[in-house]
Amino acid sequence: MTEHLMVQGEKNMKNIWIFMLMLLAVPASADTVLLADFPNRLFELPGWRWQGLADTVMGGRSTLESPRIVMTDHGPALRLAGQVVTRGGGFIQVRLQRESEYFDGSGFSGIEVELDAAEGGRYYLFVRTADNRLPWSYYSALLDVSETRETIRVPWSSFSSRGSWGGRSLRMESISSIAVVAAEEDFQAELNLYQLGLYR
């Protein structure tokens, strides 16, 4: 992970090309740019990659089923499923990770997700930036998820700092990852993610 934003030379040109590809991902009149969509397979824009993580990386006991594309009654989706165990950790997640340089999200108002989930449990969006150096440091926002497929917009102002000193506000200019997370309660998680993007 780089320590500083890359804003010159080849790094800057690469960012410009990635941003141009993002603009092509949706109609020019749309106010949302999709980072991930699941028409038939796992999809993400260039410069991003999906990861599945559970608290076992830090000694926890939660279990994450291998994230996969499933066909639901509402269409294809990325499935986040597994057992969340708060003792020793308490999370499972699917994370859209930047492959190299940070992403500048300052031109957007927040994150848009389209999803549904089985009744019960607690789900969040986690965002990590250049300010989150420690593994347990991130910004989080609680998701109000129902059993009906719906689109939820979460503004940057809804994210609060977790696991870091000083309580610094989220800096959208240096995003390193965006995750959909089941956490902080003992339950069997089952969430379907249809789309993930940024809205203006």
Query: Domain extents for the chain?
Result: 9-199
| Rounded distance between C-alpha atoms, residue 118 and residue 120, angstroms | 6
pLDDT category of residue 166 using cuts at 50, 70 and 90: low
Res. 98 pLDDT band, cuts 50 70 90: very high
CATH class for the region spanning 9-199: mainly beta
Residue 198: is its pLDDT beyond 50? Answer: yes
Take residue 98 and report the two structure tokens written for it: 């930047």
Which of 73, 48, 183 lies closest to 37 in space, CA to CA?
48
Task: With a cut of 50, say whether residue 100 has pLDDT above it.
Answer: yes
- Per-residue pLDDT averaged across 131-140, rounded? 92
* pLDDT tens digit sequence for 11-39: 333 433 333 333 334 433 368 899 999 87
Q: How far is CA 17 from CA 21, 45, 107, 191, 198, in A?
A: 6, 12, 16, 33, 18
Cα(126)–Cα(71) distance, integer angstroms:
25
Distance from C-alpha of 135 to C-alpha of 200, rounded to nearest angstrom = 29
What does the pLDDT read at residue 165?
66
pLDDT tens-place string over residues 48-74: 999 999 999 888 999 999 999 999 998
The stretch 78-82 carries a mean pLDDT of 97
For residues 103-120, average pLDDT: 96
Assigned token pair, 77: 């989706």
Confidence of residue 137 (pLDDT cuts 50, 70, 90): very high
H helices, E strands: number in the chain? 1, 13
**Better-predicted residue by pLDDT, 163 or 104:** 104
Report the Cα 135 to chain-centroid distance in Å.
15
If one counts every other C-beta atom within 10 angstroms of the C-beta of residue 66, the result is 8
